[in-house]
Amino acid sequence: MEREFRQRREKPNYKTLSEETYTYGNGNFIEVARKEVDGNEFISISKGRTLPDGTKRYKGGIGFPDDAELKAFIIQTLQEM
């Protein structure tokens, strides 16, 4: 029985257009960024911590299309919580 091997895809080449970082607690941060990949812009919200040497270690994140209605929904929902 032959094994099928998945080909590794190349990682997309993300370009960060702008970012804002909020630091809290003991080296934790939340980063909100506008990014572009293959000509498509999107918004990402990432969570992580800053290591003692200053590098960022990301724990998780979410990305969504740069859509005005979606951004308005997120902003409104956060303000109401």
Q: Which token pair is 20? A: 């804002």
In this structure, is residue 6 part of a structural domain?
no
- Identify whether 2 is part of a domain: no
Q: Which domain holds residue 55?
A: 15-80
CA distance 52 to 14: 26
> CATH number of the domain that 19 lies in?
2.30.31.10
| 7 CB-near residues (< 8 Å, 6+ apart) | none
Cα within 13 Å of Cα(32), Cβ side: 6
CB 23 within 8 A of CB 5: no
Residue 3 pLDDT: 64
Helix boundaries (H) for the chain: 68-80
Structural domain contains residue 3: no
pLDDT of residue 12: 79
> Quick check: is 32 in a domain?
yes
What pLDDT score does 23 carry?
A: 95
Block means of pLDDT (10 residues each) for the chain, length 81 residues?
A: 67 89 95 93 95 94 93 94 92
Q: Is 7 within the bounds of a domain?
A: no
pLDDT at 69: 96
Give the C-alpha separation, 36 to 43, whole Å. Answer: 9
Stated pTM of the model: 0.76
Q: Please tell me the total count of domains within the chain.
A: 1
